Amino acid sequence: MITLQFINHSTIQHLPPERKVRKLLETVKEDKIILLEGRLTKQEEAHLIQATMEHINGRFRGIELSVLSSDQKQQGLMKQVQHSLLGLLTGGRHGITIIGPATIVKEIKKDPDKIQLLMVEARAAKRKKKP
């Protein structure tokens, strides 16, 4: 069984960066795929990747991460203004972030308008962990 866990950005926005990363990493290590409203800062993403590298072992093989946000370059002037205002209101964190365990998430394909999440069957992923 695959579990998707939606995390509203407001539930983690007030946490210090270390605690935020720890919470996300603990969730992914439970073989859950996180759908995070918004996006992490570049520093938080770097800290998440660094923390992930420190936790890699025989059971945990890392994470797959992708961010989908709107591209204002292909929009009209009014949409660009709305996009800019939204960016000011959300602190530039509008979009959606997907974080999943590398043992389950085989690949994340990102197009300008969508994300395709290709996953390994949960049983097959668990069999690969046992050796």
How far apart, in Å, do the first and last CA atoms of the chain sit? 21
Weakest mean pLDDT among 21-25, 37-41, 109-113, 127-131: 127-131
Residue-wise pLDDT tens digits, 11-29: 898 999 999 999 999 999 9
Residue 25: what pLDDT?
95
46-72 confidence digits (pLDDT tens): 999 999 999 999 889 999 998 887 554
**Burial of residue 99 (number of CB atoms within 10 Å: 0-12, 13-18, 19+):** buried
pLDDT of residue 72: 47
- Asked whether the predicted pLDDT for residue 116 surpasses 90, the reply is no
Helix (H, G, I), strand (E, B) or coil at 34: strand
- Report the percentage of the chain scoring pLDDT > 90: 35
Q: Which residues contact 74 (CB under 8 A, 6 or more apart)?
A: 112
> What percentage of the chain carries pLDDT values higher than 70?
71
Where would I find the H helices in 1-131?
A: 17-29, 42-55, 77-90, 122-129
